[in-house]
Amino acid sequence: MSPDTPITAGPALQWNGYPATAATADKTAAQNVSVLIADDDLAVRRSLRQTIEAWGYTVVEAASGRQALALMAVDPNRVVLSDIDMPEGDGFDLLHEITGRYPQAGVIMVSGMSHEKIIDAAIEGGALGYVQKPFRLPELKSQLAAAVRKLQNPGRTQDLDTVKEYARLFVMTSDLHHIETGSHIRRIQKLSRHLARLAGCSDTHADLIGEAAGLHDIGKLAIPDAILKKPGPLTPEEFEIMKTHPVLGGKILEAAKDPLLKLAHVIALHHHERWDGNGYPHRLQGEACPLEARIVGIVDVYDALTERRVYKEPWPVEKVIEFFHEKRESSFDPRLVDLLLSNFAEFETIRTAEHS
């Protein structure tokens, strides 16, 4: 058998007729990189997993597009090997969601289909590569290595520092413009980071969520001061104008290419959606709203209720807890509410530390 012989799923993928082992792995390139295999065929997933783990990668599996997105929300710094024909969101749906939400990830499409139009559509949609079934290991390994290099781009750290500085400038601008106090934005960043970690996000992604959360209300820069700074309750007409700030924030950030600003775009646009689908602007229901936006949405309300505002006094802790119990399955993701309430003392410590 030559190295270019097609390989089908079985107990293990083969390399030159022998099981792929750690001896064939490029451990250095694979270090700290996770590979997500999204395929509804269990035999394919297991065979791919055994081979790719032998190359030195950490591997997780998903049997559907929906499962894959849930895993990406926890840690988006992955290379994704995605089948095209899957339940609950096919490979092209998954590609669109990942390239839109997680530009720091790399996607390689995997399929038994070899039609030129399908391959072109995958590449034009943002895929880094396309591997046809049955697999040829040299092709798979080389495309995987190329995707890893993209994730390990050494210039990203300096770029991220620049974007973080941009986010901090917005915090200062908001404070001067009296949109939100700088202390409120800093609390939202810290609280979002903490809830993200409790929700199972990796430290890296939780930190990114925390940074991006500082831009959640950037759209308020376009709201008239007469509404934004009104000391009393808004009229129904004024509230409709205020409700446009997520869309306005989305427009400000929609052309962003950097991963932090791409995530900030998602959060700014969706942090006022509700679990029951009665939020705004797009009435997204349940997990259709990105996890990052659900996290920022709940801590934004928590901070608003517990802090003094020009139009209200802070609520007592007992009333805040009762509120979240009542809204657990209507306004907010019930799992996130449970994490907030079961760790309430920790959130209070983080929130009140900003006052000292």
Catalytic residues: 220
d(CA 296, CA 303): 10
Q: Give the DSSP letter of residue 13.
A: -
For residue 180, give the DSSP letter: S
| Cα 76 from chain centroid (whole Å) | 6
Alpha helices of 42-136 — where are they, by DSSP H?
42-54, 65-74, 91-101, 116-124
DSSP of 109-142, one letter per residue?
Answer: EEES---HHHHHHHHHTT-SEEEESSB-HHHHHH
Residue in 168, 197, 187 with CA at minimum distance from that of residue 303 = 187
Question: Among residues 324, 318, 317, which one has the least CA distance to residue 301?
Answer: 324
C-alpha 22/C-alpha 28 separation (Å) is: 12
Break the chain down into helix, strand, coil percent, rounded to 5. 55, 10, 35
